[in-house]
Chains A and B, each alone.
Chain A
């Protein structure tokens, strides 16, 4: 490790827990948070009294239909009478949660952090997509009656055009991730499908078909981060946070080249530099790039510099990113397969790298030996990149 910053304490992830990801759940938001947090504590053999600080992540309040969502989630996240903060960067929130937890520990402020992410999207009716209307500019965008999928479709079309990828090439990612999810205990949309199934599914906003998109979900996820000495006490296999990075671009998403996410690259460069990684395409063994849409995974693989620009779809076709491939991506099944409770989905991705690096992913364990993994999330109006690099 060649840290380019002063880090007081080395930080490890020592536990992770998830709830089921499903379209609708009986549990309230705070109960979902509690179930995931309890799983994480149990997995680390810790109790709430062992936790110093709490970090909560949750995307727009308008999904759960509860304002002050951080405060609302506080008891379920174990935050009563403890220092607590909620972080929020749209879809990028999930990976922002361990980033914020990291600086709580790395700074020397807290010895242990319980990091919880939760999203309950089922309350909003008739469909949570309506709630997204409030991310658009009210003056120049909303009068056009946009649907959230428009921006993704526009970005996907641009990627296809610039990189020469076809619908078929992109659908491969959906097929791969949904199949990877078959062994995930929380998966909502695991399936054995073919490229034809994706192409024949309902067209929403061409080029986006229904099976190009992750589902709407309720769910929660949690991680335990600890200072080095505590981490070594509670587990034989702490997973080290080697690097973190995050950057934002402007919300003026249509004033930018959409074929390449420069903000993801900047975030990745920040994280790699901290981790001492100079050639990520060689040094990273496993990745969980954010995949709310199939093309997004390819887009982010390139932004994370795990493939040359416009080459990710070619490599995907060769099986390079399969669980048995040279650089397995989304071995969890990703958002496309496991589900997409926004913030919780990002934490699920970090949890997958944690399990993979501990060789605890069971049926989902990748075939190659793994030392370094990267998890990434993305969000808002094509503008947020959040990246975490882990090692065992």
Chain B
């Protein structure tokens, strides 16, 4: 059986590349706009979480079997596969785990002003939890410069949520405007 060498010299791979212009002008090319709207229910754990955001606090669920605290809350422990045990309420202070500067939006459009986004590991009883998994939120940061991200100054920094005014909150993750560094 003949050996078949698979490299550029021996193989011409099938396929017909098109330029973007060619694609739109081909006879038979069809354009279609989907009209798909959805209503998502928030479920037991997240509906309580959103209600508590309105009150200016962060609700988590604790599993008394393994001691894990879940933020965002879940009604079941992923590890014990049992219902979580109780609600606990966090101040929202925490430590920055990672942060980046985004110059683009959801559909890759350039943003006028770059955004700083990151992950906060939330304190339990004013202490930073240890381990591979932890309660945390993914959110925007304020009062953080692009340089703070690039130099790494922001990683490990202590932050707290900046809440919207109570009357402006609507039970949404954006009731927290952003996380900002705690001075001093």
Contacts and interface: CB of A to CB of B under 8 A. Distances in A.
Nearest to B72: A140
A200 to B, nearest CB: 15
Given A129-B108, A206-B103, A363-B8, A22 B118 contact: no
B113 interface: no
B106 A129 contact: yes
A236 B2 CA distance: 10
Most A CB within 10 A of own CB, among B38, B74, B102: B102
A35 B117 contact: no
B1 A236 contact: yes
| Residue with the greatest number of chain A CB neighbours at <10 A, chosen from B13, B70, B101, B118 | B13
A26 B118 contact: no
Given A252-B72, A362-B9, A140 B135 contact: no
Interface string B132-158: 111111111000001001101001000
Contacts of B109: 126
B138 A24 contact: no
Interface of A: 16, 18-20, 22-27, 32, 35-36, 38-39, 43, 45, 65, 122, 126-127, 129-130, 133, 137-141, 143-147, 149-150, 153-158, 160-161, 182-186, 203-208, 218-219, 235-236, 250, 252, 254-258, 262, 355, 358-364
Contacts, number: 201
B67 interface: no
B3 A154 contact: no
Contacts of B105: 145, 147
Nearest to A36: B14
B97 to A, nearest CB: 6
Contacts of A149: 102, 104
Given A139-B50, A161-B155, A154 B17 contact: no
B103 A18 contact: no
A36 B139 CA distance: 42
A150 B40 contact: no
Contact of A43 (B4, B78, B101): B4
B44 interface: no
Given A158-B97, A254-B137, A362-B5, A206 B17 contact: no
Nearest to B152: A161
Given A183-B8, A205-B102, A206-B103, 14 more contacts: A24-B17, A126-B108, A130-B107, A144-B138, A146-B106, A147-B107, A154-B99, A154-B117, A154-B118, A184-B8, A204-B108, A206-B102, A360-B3, A360-B4
Given A144-B117, A154-B119, A158-B97, A138 B40 contact: yes
A139 B42 contact: yes
11 contacts: A22-B17, A26-B17, A27-B16, A65-B34, A126-B109, A138-B38, A139-B46, A140-B49, A141-B173, A185-B7, A262-B132
Given A24-B20, A143-B174, A363 B104 contact: no
B112 to A, nearest CB: 13
User: Which 3 pairs from chain A and chain B are nearest by CB?
Assistant: A362-B7, A20-B15, A130-B107
